[in-house]
Amino acid sequence: MKLTAKKLIELDKKNIWHPFTQMGDWLNDDPCEPLIIERAKGSYLYDIYGRKYLDGVSSLWVNNLGHRNPKIDAAVKKQLAKVSHSTFLGLTHIPAIELSQKLLSILPKHLKKVFYSDNGSTAVEIALKMAYQFWRFKGERRTSFLSLRNAYHGDTVGAVSVGGTDLFHKSFKDLLFKAHFAPSPFCRKCFARKNEIPFLNKAKNFKEHCKIAGCGGQCVKKAEDILKKNGKNIAAAIIEPENQAAAGMIIMPAGYAAEYANLCKKYNTLLIADEVATGFGRTGEMFAVEYSKIKPDFICLSKGITGGYMPLAATITTDGIYNAFLGKYEEFKTFFHGHSYTANPLACAAANAAIDIFKTDKILQKLKSKIAFFKNGLAALSNHQKVGNIRHLGVMAGIDIVKDKKTGAVYDYKLKTAAKICAQMREDGIIIRNLGDTLVLFLPLTITVSEISKIIKSIAKRLDAL
Ligand SMILES: *Cc1c(COP(=O)(O)O)cnc(C)c1O
């Protein structure tokens, strides 16, 4: 059965409910008609008409090494000829064993045990449950968590409980367990003076940042207040180190993540680093925790782990946490959690190839000059009359669109200004996405400088036309 484009769209609209999508708009082609992707190569997606689009959001932050990467393709094919899936409950397999060794070799040395799952939300849920149970084994009942406003940790109910984005999470409030929220490290003082603190001149450390902002480090003080008061009931504190990506790329002041980590030590709670977005090179380092110089008790990985090929996640923890779960069968200290597709062998094969590529293709070394080029392009764009604040780290950036640069006035939400710009940019052969009126860029690590330039130019052109 070969379906025409018209028929495909008709069937999509008739049968399918898309994620994070107002289906009423989707049905009405607002702000644009659905795009049907047929194939991809490198940084490009191709639709059913053969039209080519630069993938400026890495297929929603997963694809880091390019589509149809020959080495990952070959690794998956090789594994396909062996076994596509077998359970990880009571059995094991070669790709997952190899991958555990590779992951531990690139992660901070104190992280020793890999627990696999299949998406970022579950990687976070697993860390939360392990942390909770760890304290139970110690004879403590810690039933809440510490998180940050604007945080995003996924869409399952546990992950939503530690989510601080009202837009996504408020609707489910009644279903959630208790979490405390410290301010996002992007306070009103930082915010009010955001145009005076050029994102390019990130202060050297947290103290310096607070001095420039004149805020007295309120965000850390409030986090400390929460821990002082409730620390004994907080099983773990969670953070997306360096970048609250889903909040529109809120880049943390230098040293903030380290301050947060120190508080966890001081008040004796566990630390979970959610690197689902920032992991695998997005900051310019392999992991953001290297950038932050923090030693979390858990790190949650997914998205880029397979090069963006397949669903896979890992929650990696210390011997200390792992050992607390050891005991006799009848002691019921087992970690009762698992998924049907835990450690899928095809996904593990893709991940093994992806990690190798970082080394063989010198991905991070080659990235340095691209990041510098990107930064310069964004700096030029930040002078645009329709641009408010720009936040940037590595290959990630958030560009706030404003109606008036001087007053900082924004467009009416209903106008969907940024969504329309993203729709128009498709005519320039570029796919990016917006979060409210923030344009979000999340570039593949294998992008070229001329492709970066193309994206910046297209944004400028569309902003000119506002
Ligand atoms: C995307 C994301 C998640 C959720 O991952 P899914 O695979 O979509 O469930 C969790 N945390 C962060 C920081 C993310 O960016």
- Residues 63-89 have pLDDT tens digits of 999 999 999 999 999 999 999 999 999
Question: Which residues lie across from 179 on neighbouring strands?
Answer: 145
Pocket of ligand 1 (CB under 6 A): 119-121, 124, 152-154, 240, 245-246, 274, 276-277, 302-303
Tell me what pLDDT residue 396 has: 97
Angle of CA points 155, 160, 161, to nearest 5°:
160
Tell me what pLDDT residue 188 has: 59
Phi, psi torsion values for 430, nearest 5 degrees: -135, 135
* DSSP H or E segment with residue 181: strand 179-182
Distance from residue 455's CA to the centre of ligand 1 (Å) = 25
Return the amino acid letter for 75: A
Q: Give the confidence band of 202 by pLDDT, cuts at 50, 70, 90.
A: low
Mutation choice for ligand 1 from 57, 63, 276, 315, CB with most ligand atoms inside 8 A = 276
Q: Torsion angle, CA of 446/40/439/36, rounded to 10 degrees?
A: 180
Q: Give the confidence band of 148 by pLDDT, cuts at 50, 70, 90.
A: very high
Residue 150: pLDDT above 70? yes
The predicted model gives 290-309 an average pLDDT of: 97
Q: What is the pTM of this model?
A: 0.97
> What average pLDDT does the structure give for the chain?
94
- Which of helix, strand or coil describes residue 459? helix
Least confident stretch, 2-11, 120-129, 356-365 = 2-11
Distance from residue 249's CA to the centre of ligand 1 (Å) = 14
Distance from residue 127's CA to the centre of ligand 1 (Å) = 13
Rounded Cα distance between 292 and 264, Å, is: 15
Least confident stretch, 131-145, 181-195, 449-463 = 181-195
Which segment, 190-204, 378-392, 444-458, is predicted with the most confidence on average? 444-458
Rounded Cα distance between 63 and 72, Å, is: 12
Q: Which of 266, 264, 330 is nearest to 297 (CA)?
A: 264
- Which of helix, strand or coil describes residue 345? helix
Asked whether the beta carbons of 421 and 381 are under 8 A apart, the reply is: no
Mutation choice for ligand 1 from 303, 305, 310, CB with most ligand atoms inside 8 A = 303
Residue 211: pLDDT above 60? yes
Tokens of 161: 């409980």
Residue 166: pLDDT above 90? no
DSSP secondary structure letter of residue 201:
G
- Domains for the chain: give ranges and CATH numbers: 35-56+362-464 (3.90.1150.10), 73-360 (3.40.640.10)
Tell me what pLDDT residue 192 has: 53
Would you tell me the crossing angle of helices 256-266 and 218-230 to the nearest 10 degrees? 20
Tokens of 295: 């030693």
Tell me what pLDDT residue 1 has: 62
Q: How many helices (H) and strands (E) does the chain have?
A: 18, 17
Atom nearest to 154 CA in ligand 1: 4
The predicted model gives 116-137 an average pLDDT of: 98
Residue 197: pLDDT above 60? no
Nearest CA to ligand 1 atom 11: 153
Distance from residue 50's CA to the centre of ligand 1 (Å) = 31
Tell me what pLDDT residue 99 has: 98
The predicted model gives 341-351 an average pLDDT of: 98
Would you tell me the crossing angle of helices 363-381 and 345-360 to the nearest 10 degrees? 80
Q: Which of 366, 371, 436 is nearest to 397 (CA)?
A: 371
